[in-house]
Amino acid sequence: MVLEAGTLAPDFTLVDHLGEEVTLSETLEEQPVVLVFFPLAFSGICTGELCELRDNLAMFDDQKVRLFGVSVDSKFTLAAWAKEEGYEFSLLSDFWPHGGVAKDYGVFAEDGGIATRATVVIGQDRKIVASFETSPSEPRNFADYEAALAKL
């Protein structure tokens, strides 16, 4: 079960699809963060969801929020997918230890070795202000992003 509002977000450092290290606490010094956990790159529902985020990136920019996609895929897989789909936000690789960050956030599906579809909105104080989750086979409702961002 995804961590709830009011919880201190676990800090982490992951590599993005460009090979750059991203540390949550350092990013939060500049702006709030939205973490979008997803099962696997190149899969149908994940592509649809992240393309919807890509097409509505202005919503996150308007709120001055940094958007990150997070999956257990390697940075190489994420780089190829980001290039193919034209994603202009960072995709973070939770590849090793496998799903470690997803586990810390309570969104790792042990039976499949993937993250569920969970979204976590984190304020600059590192507290979670909103979170929502669906099963790996169920896409998120885009309106839930708008409602979550309104809580910042």
Active site positions, annotated: 46
Alpha helices in 56-135 (DSSP H): 57-62, 75-85, 100-104
Alpha helices in 71-141 (DSSP H): 75-85, 100-104
Contacts of 35 (CB under 8 A, 6+ apart): 68, 70, 105, 118, 119, 120, 122
Report the C-alpha gap between 81 and 57 in whole angstroms: 17
Q: Under a CB-based contact definition with an 8 Å cutoff, are residues 103 and 71 in contact?
A: no
